[in-house]
Structure 1
């Protein structure tokens, strides 16, 4: 499925990296410092021009404005960094919620319980793909285990009824065929 918002995909791919958040924060700090320097220079020049063109004779002006500008920008930078950290924490918590649900589903599958309800899809494309793959895997293993259980029940019934060897050989072949299609991880 293609999503029309390519910008979102770019952000999703980068949100797993702390480097992205660090670079984003450093860029904001650098940009704020550059704007502070430019504005302080402009304010200083404007004040000096105004005062020097008047009847007052003052040596240097604008330094008090630079202090106020720096203080304002430091507060702005801290607010922006706080916002970046808060948004990052929200995104990480939302992602962790999906991963915790997937972990719970996998633990239940390891215990043989395939009745876990399907997870709700995520707004993140990659997480939605992982969820759908997990659901496919759950359905696949549910079918495999049901077939295996059916074959074992048939073998047990045939052995209990002391059926002929042809039936036991047929059930053994079914079991071998099922096991040959099942691959376990190395």
Structure 2
């Protein structure tokens, strides 16, 4: 009998500042469109009169005085409904972007600290899949090359150590050769120390 994995409530607010800024800009855009629509109506209706019934009486008034209350009310309803629907859609869309960005930040931080074994793994429904592929390929290349450097440095260090031991045990070996081997060993230790900063799979 298989047990179902525990239910995990999805967190739609991962990068709150990014998502908040996204939503605020969307609301500002809607507000600007509403103001422009009203401004355009006032400009077009400037200097015109409209006749209409207000109850049983026929009324003649300036066009914007006649229609402005209706226009304001309808705009408020449209802006409100659009804002609510747009915010719901934005939450879902921004989650598809903010989630990968959050994971990119964490893994890039680990890569910058030298852990070249970390990889991105996004869902098929997430955005930025091409970026995931590119960075993973870069990390694979770095992992492989730095791993090769570490292996080569370790092998050369071992070889230099063996040569030093052989030179020390051979009285006929020249002192210049021993000094050269010591310099090689020192350089290799520095190289290995630099390479060991990185954590690789090799």
Instruction: Tell me the TM-score range normalised by the shorter chain.
Output: 0.5 to 0.7
Cα 1:132–1:32 change in 2 (3 A) is farther
Q: Which residue of 1 aligns with 2:6?
A: none
Q: Tell me, yes or no, if structure 1 residue 77 matches structure 2 residue 59.
A: no
Deviation at 1:61, TM superposition (A): 4.5
Q: Which residue of 2 aligns with 1:163?
A: 166
Higher RCO (CA-CA < 8 Å; seq separation 6+): 2
Over alpha carbons, which structure has the higher Rg? Answer: 2
Q: TM-score, normalised by structure 2?
A: 0.50
Higher strand share: 2
Q: How does 1:9-158 map to 2 (within 5 A)?
A: 21=22, 23=25, 25-35=27-37, 38=40, 49=50, 51=52, 56-58=57-59, 61-62=66-67, 63-64=69-70, 66-105=72-111, 109=114, 116=117, 119=120, 122-123=128-129, 125=131, 130-158=135-163
Which sections of structure 1, spanning at least 5 residues, go unmatched? 1-16
Deviation at 1:96, TM superposition (A): 1.8
Which sections of structure 2, spanning at least 5 residues, go unmatched? 1-17, 123-127, 198-202
The question of whether the paired residues in 2 share the 8 Å contact of 1:25 and 1:84 is answered with no
Higher helix share: 1
Work out the CA distance in 1 between the residues paired with 2:166 and 2:90: 71
- How many residue pairs match? The answer is 158
Cα 1:74–1:118 change in 2 (3 A) is closer
Other structure's SS at 2:76 match? helix
Cα 1:37–1:152 change in 2 (3 A) is same
Deviation at 1:178, TM superposition (A): 4.7
* Alpha-carbon displacement from aligned partner over 1:19-44 (angstroms, at most 9, x marks no partner): 9845554233211332355569989x
Work out the CA distance in 2 between the residues paired with 1:31 and 1:65: 13
* Alpha-carbon displacement from aligned partner over 1:37-68 (angstroms, at most 9, x marks no partner): 5569989xxxx84625xx84147754345323
What RMSD over aligned residues (CA atoms) do the two structures have, in Å?
Answer: 4.8
